[in-house]
Amino acid sequence: MSHSILTEETVLLNADAKNKEEAIRLAGQLLVDQGCVEPSYIERMLEREQSLTTYIGNSVAIPHGTEEGKKNILRSGISILQIPGGVDFGDGQTAKILIGIAGKGDEHMEILSKIALVCAEEESVDKMVHAQSKEELLSLFDEVN
């Protein structure tokens, strides 16, 4: 996976979020800070979550914007939030890894499929949850081609 999309600057370890809205805002802010999206994209991420949960199982949620939010994307980017304490995503689902996605154009599906491959393995997710460094966490994505 291209490191221009996923960098140490867009990874936050040991994050603490009181609820899923706060967690999604943190994931979105990492994308804003790296110049991937306009601040308004965070609102599109929250809208998406209200209409359809982005929790995909295995303690992972992949918040991303609505179709309308695509115009707020400046360039593709991914943010990763490690929340060891977990955050409630409703229906008894607890996310410990949030992967914020902003895909420009057709890159969106390619990004999602690579993330899905990593997150399908419970062992990989467990390694992400317990990663002690950003390098350790990012190395799990290096193995996906």
Which residues are part of the catalytic machinery? 64
Amino acid at 130: H
- What is the Cα–Cα distance from 3 to 141, expressed in whole angstroms? 10
Rg (CA), the chain: 13
Amino acid at 121: E
For residue 13, which phi and psi values (nearest 5 degrees)? -90, 155
